[in-house]
Amino acid sequence: MKATATLGKVSNFLGLGFFLTLKDLFTGKLQKEELKNFLRKTIVPLASILLFFGLWHLGAKSLYNIEADFKIEKALKDQGQTAAEALKACMASGDSSCQPNTLPSPSQVWSSFQSLLRDHNIISADKAAFAEKTAALNETRISEGKDAIVYTGRPSFVDQIYRSLQTVFAGFLLALFIAVPLGIFIGLSPTLKSAFNWFIQIFKPVSPVVWYLLVFMIVKTLLIGSADDSSFTISFISVGLCSMWATLVNTTMGVSSVDKDYVNVAKVLKLGTFQKIFKVILPSSLPLIFTGLKITLSVAWMVLIAIELLAQSPGLGLFVWEEFQNGANDSNAKIIVAMFVIGIIGFLLDRLMLTIQNWVSFDKTDAI
């Protein structure tokens, strides 16, 4: 019973309610009239997923053939019959050294995903071993006032996901702490609103790349003489500045469009400014503020990849870029793995925000 409830909560949280229906089908709980509903909610999504992978597989295959034919023909023209035959045999044997470089098939992506996980396990083990080996040495070094020796090997894929999440949350918090208070002030004062309006209108559409360059110019100068790696600082500030606009605009709108009845009540009761803001204006604009924050988080996650790539800050963006530059046999498949990971994490972040929004919002029907 408890397990069912948990499953229900989890699938509802993920927006994947059809899992429950599927379970009901197997346990024979489904009524006849629910069959139509079941078809729509379960069979259709499953069929569309299968169709997606099928089309992807076929597309990858035909791209593979185009690339392979071209390669063989080129070998024939440049190096003659024997070289072409050898290449053909090599391709047919599945040897990775001579595979055409094109869109990977779903199965290649899956095996790349597994190899990335294996790689992570190897690196984790390596790290643990390193920590164990250096533990005693580090202790003496610290007691002598020297810096501890740290692991400087390459990060695993999972490490990079973790790093990306850190960057996005730091950027999100920065956006939150700038945009919400600023939005409240702008929303409350028509004077501030006209003072800031041009600023918002002009800077809102600026591309993440340009924000990155701007932050780079400023942070580079501010951190002059510091030995620390500033790429994380630069990338999270850029992410924050790119993504804060939705929250700023929504907070301003929420605060300036509080229901007139509530404002009248506040006036009749002669509430002080502090009370008016915290008891009336903020709670009533929370739904809009959260809608803004939800957009901010998804924008932050989206621009993060581009910014990490530019800033050379470790994370998924840099991972994608390095794999692209690397051009190894499974690089393309790894890029597609990263694409799915980015998509799934983005989706989970969105769900997380929706859950928080439903939790804090007074109007349960308001959340979109």
How far is residue 301's CA from residue 111's CA, in Å, rounded to a whole number?
26
- The conformational region for residue 350 under phi > 0 = left, psi -120 to 50 = alpha, else beta, is alpha
Q: Give me the least distance between CB of 275 and other proteins, in Å please.
A: 8
Q: Give me the least distance between CB of 360 and other proteins, in Å please.
A: 9
Closer to other proteins by Cβ: residue 84 or 280 = 280
Q: Give me the least distance between CB of 111 and other proteins, in Å please.
A: 52
Closer to other proteins by Cβ: residue 136 or 268 = 268
Number of residues that make up the chain: 368
Closer to other proteins by Cβ: residue 169 or 262 = 262
Closer to other proteins by Cβ: residue 198 or 362 = 362
Q: Which residues contact other proteins (rule: CB under 8 A)?
A: 259, 261-262, 264-265, 267-271, 275, 279-280, 283-284, 286, 362-363
Q: Give me the least distance between CB of 192 and other proteins, in Å please.
A: 23
Q: Give me the least distance between CB of 187 and other proteins, in Å please.
A: 18
Amino acid at 153: G
Nearest CA-CA partner of 171 in 73, 79, 296: 296
Q: Give me the least distance between CB of 259 and other proteins, in Å please.
A: 8
Q: Where are the alpha helices (DSSP H) in the chain?
A: 2-14, 18-26, 35-38, 44-79, 81-93, 106-143, 157-188, 190-203, 208-222, 231-256, 260-268, 273-275, 282-311, 316-326, 331-360
Q: Give me the least distance between CB of 356 and other proteins, in Å please.
A: 15
How far is residue 308's CA from residue 343's CA, in Å, rounded to a whole number?
16
Q: Give me the least distance between CB of 284 and other proteins, in Å please.
A: 7
Closer to other proteins by Cβ: residue 28 or 272 = 272
Closer to other proteins by Cβ: residue 174 or 286 = 286
Distance set, CA 310 to CA 22, 55, 231, 238, 317 (Å): 44, 33, 9, 11, 9
Q: Give me the least distance between CB of 13 and other proteins, in Å please.
A: 23
347 phi, psi to nearest 5 deg: -65, -45
Closer to other proteins by Cβ: residue 165 or 356 = 356
Give the list of residues 6+ apart from residue 41 with CB closer than 8 angstroms, or none: 17, 18, 21
Closer to other proteins by Cβ: residue 6 or 264 = 264
How far is residue 358's CA from residue 367's CA, in Å, rounded to a whole number?
6
- Counting Cα atoms < 13 Å in the Cβ hemisphere of 165 gives 13
| Residue-by-residue DSSP string for 206-228 | --HHHHHHHHHHHHHHHTTT--S
Closer to other proteins by Cβ: residue 33 or 261 = 261
